[in-house]
Structure 1
Amino acid sequence: MTVFIGAIIVLAGVFGGYVLSHGHIAALWQPFELLIIGGAALGAFVISNPSHVAMATLKQLPSLLFQKKYTKSFYLELLSLFYQIFNIIRREGLITIESHVEQPEDSDLFSRFPLITKDQQALNFICDYLRLMVIGDMTSYELENLMDVELETHQMENLAPSHALGKVADALPGFGIVAAVLGIVITMQSLGGPPEVIGLHVAAALVGTFLGILLAYGFVAPISNALEHKAFDESKFYECMKTCILASVNGMPPQVAVEFGRKTLPSDIRPNFYELEECVKGIR
C-alpha cells in the first residue's frame, strides 16, 4: 500500500506542478522515448544479472504491495513456538522432539503455529538446528558459527534483487540522455521544416531526459530501497531465531531463552514482556 501512496505523491507533485505552471500534459506523452529508456534498462538488467537474481527480483516485487509480514503477532507466534519446544526439551529431553523435527508437517506441535509453518524456509531453519541439537555433537560456538555462515549467505541472496534494481536506477538517467540524443538527431533531420515541427521534436528529446531522471529517482531507486528494507526485516527474523536457539543450547530456561530473542527485535514490532508472557500462558 505504501508503494501506491508514494507513487501517487510523486506523480501528483511532478505533474501537478507542471500543470499549475501552465504546461500541457499531452506534450509529455512520448511512448517511443519510454520504449527506448525502458528497453535499454531492461536489457541492461538482463545482461548484468544471472537468471536466478532476475527471477528473485520478479518474485520479490509483488510482495511490496502486500502487508508487512513480520508483525508483532508473527513474532509472538514464533517466540511461543520456541517456548513450547524448549519447554518440552527441558521436561522430557531432546530426543522427544525428534519426531516433530523429522515430520513437522504432521506434528501437532508445529500445527498450532500456522504463521510459522507456512514459511517453509523458516521451518527448515528451525528443524535443521533442532536436529543438530538432538545429535548433540556440536558446541554452542560451533553452532553459532554455522548459523552465521548460513545467515550471511541468506542475506546476500535477499539483497541481490535490491542491488540489481539499484544499478538500473543509476543507469536510467544515462538512458534518458540516450533517448534525448536520438531525439536531437531526429530534430536535425527536420531542419528547414516548419518551426512548430522542430519544436515538437526538441520537446520530445527533452522529455526523454526528464523520463530517465523521473523513473530513476522517483520509482526504481525507492523500490530498490524498499526491497533492501524487506531483506533486513527478514534478516532480523532469522537473527531472532538464532538467538533463541543459542540461548537454549547454553542452558537458559525456556522463558529466558525466548526473552533473549525478544530483545533482538526492533522497537516498533517488539512485544513487551507482559504481552509475551500472556501469549505463552495461553499456549501453556
Structure 2
Amino acid sequence: MNAILGLVITMVMVFGGYTLAGGKMGIILHSLPFEMMMIGGAAIGAFLAANDMSTVKHTLGDVMAAVKGPKWKKSDYQDLLCLMHELLNVLKQNPVDIEEHIENPTESEIFNRYPKIAKDHDAVEMICDTIRSMIMNFDNVHQVEELLEKHLDGLLEEKLHGSHALQNMADALPALGIVAAVLGVIKTMASIDKPPEILGAMIGGALVGTFLGVFLAYGIVGPFANKVKHTRREEHFFYSMIGEVLVSSLHKNPVNICLEVARRHAPARVRPSFDEIDQAVKELKKAA
C-alpha cells in the first residue's frame, strides 16, 4: 500500500508543481505516447535480453510483493516456532520417528497443521535437509552450520535477483531518455525552416524524453527496486529463523531455549512476544 501511495504522491507533486508553475501539459501529453514507446520499449527489450525467463517471472512477482508487502506475517512467525517445537520434540524423543515427517512432508501431520509454511518449498526444504543432516551424525556440528549458512546465502541471492534486474533497468533509463531526446532533436533539425512557435513545441517534445527517462528511473523503477530488496530481505528473516532454531538444537540446547533464540532473531514488527509463544506451546501440549 505504501508503494502505491508513494507513487501517487510523486506523480501529483511533480506534475502538480509543473502545472502550478505555468507549465502546459499539452506538450507532455502529446509527446508521451511516442517517448514512452521508445524509452519504455527499449527498457523492456533490454530487460528481456539481459535476463532469463525465470528471472523475468521472478521480477514480476517481486513487483507484486513490493505492493502487497512481505509474505510472512506475525502469525506465520508464531506458526513457524510452533512447527519447529513439534519437530524438535519428535527428534529428541526418537530420531527414527522424525523420518516420516522429513522424507514425506506433504503427508506429515505436523507440517499439514501449518499449511502456509507447508506450501513454501524453500522453508520445507531447509527444515527437512537440515534435520536429515542432523540425524546422519555429522562428525562436526560446524559442518551442518556451514551447510545452513551456504543454503541461506544462496537463497537470499536468488530472492534478490528481481531487485537487481529492476535496479539495472533504473540505471539504464536516463540514458535511454537521452536517446529519445536526441531522436527528437534530429526530427526538429529536419524542420528547421518552421516558425519559432512550432520549433519550440518540437524541442519541448524532444526534452520530454530526457525528463521521462530520469523520472521513471528515480521516481518509479528505482524506488520499486529498493522496495523489492527490503521486502525480500525482511522475508529472509523467516528462513534465517529456521536456521537459528536448528543451530541452537545442534548445540544441545533445550527446545524452549532454541525457540527463544530464534524468536529474538525475528524483525521487531512481526516478532511474537515470549508470552504468545509460551501460550501457543502450552496449547500444543494440551492438544497432544
TM-score tier by shorter-chain length is over 0.9
User: What SS does the aligned partner of 1:109 have?
Assistant: helix
Query: Secondary structure of the equivalent of 2:46?
Result: helix
**Cα distance between partner residues in 2 of 1:209 and 1:141:** 54
1:85 is aligned, of 84, 87, 99, to 87
Taking the aligned partners of 2:124 and 2:166, their CA distance within structure 1 comes to 29
- How much has 1:262 moved relative to structure 2? 0.8
Shift of 1:128: 1.4
Q: Aligned pair count? A: 283
Q: Structure 1 residue 219: deviation in Å? A: 0.5
- C-alpha contact 2:65 2:228 (8 A) present in aligned 1: no
How far off is 1:101 after superposition? Answer: 1.2
The letter of the residue matching 2:175 is G
Which ranges of 4 or more aligned residues in structure 1 deviate by more than 3 Å? none
Report the residue type matching 1:4 in the other structure.
I
- Residue type at the aligned position of 2:148: M
Q: CA deviation at 1:138?
A: 4.7
Superposition deviation, residue 115 in structure 1: 2.1
1:249 equivalent in structure 2: 250
Contact 1:172–1:215 (Cα < 8 Å) also in 2: yes
Partner of 1:171: 172
- Code of the residue aligned with 1:131 in structure 2: it is R
**Stretch of structure 1 that moved more, 242-251 or 134-143:** 134-143
The code of the aligned residue for 1:70 comes to W
The question of 1:94 aligning with 2:95 is answered yes
In structure 2, the residue matched to 1:182 is: 183
The range that moved more, 250-259 or 261-270, is 261-270
- Determine the structure 2 residue equivalent to 1:38: 40
Q: CA deviation at 1:81?
A: 0.7
Are 1:76 and 2:90 counterparts? no
Aligned partners of 2:182 and 2:250: how far apart in 1? 64
- Distance in structure 1 (CA, Å) of the matches to 2:139 and 2:214: 54
* Matches for 1:1-284 after TM superposition, within 5 Å: 1-29=1-29, 30=31, 31-90=33-92, 92-284=93-285
Alpha-carbon distance in structure 2 between the residues aligned to 1:62 and 1:52: 16
The share of aligned pairs that are identical, in percent, is 39
Separation in 2, partners of 1:249, 1:94: 13
CA distance in 2, matches of 1:138, 1:119: 30
Local SS of the residue matching 2:253: coil
* Alpha-carbon distance between aligned partners in 1 of 2:223 and 2:144, rounded to the nearest angstrom: 37
Compute the displacement of 1:67 (Å): 4.3
TM-score, structure 2 normalization = 0.93
**8 Å CA contact 1:77, 1:115 repeated in 2:** no
Give me the TM-score of the superposition, normalised by structure 1: 0.94
Given that 1:159 and 1:231 are in contact with CA atoms closer than 8 Å, whether structure 2 keeps it comes out as: yes
Flag structure 1 segments of 5+ consecutive residues without an equivalent.
none
Q: Residue by residue, what CA displacement relative to the aligned partner does 1:65-123 show, whole Å, maximum 9, x if unpaired?
A: 32432221110000111111112223x22111111111211111111112211212211
CA contact (8 A) 1:83 1:258 kept: yes
Contact residue 84 and residue 245 of structure 2 kept, 8 A? yes
- Return the alpha-carbon distance in structure 2 between the equivalents of residues 196 and 186 of structure 1: 15
Give 1:276's aligned amino acid.
I
Task: Please state whether the residue corresponding to 2:96 is helix, strand or coil.
Answer: helix
**1:220-246 deviation per Cα after TM superposition (whole angstroms, max 9, x unaligned):** 101110111122123222211001011
What is the CA–CA distance in structure 1 between the aligned matches of 2:56 and 2:116, rounded to whole Å? 28
Does the Cα contact within 8 Å between 1:132 and 1:138 map onto a contact in 2? Answer: no
Partner of 1:268, secondary structure, is helix
| Residue ranges of structure 2 left out of the alignment (5+ in a row) | none
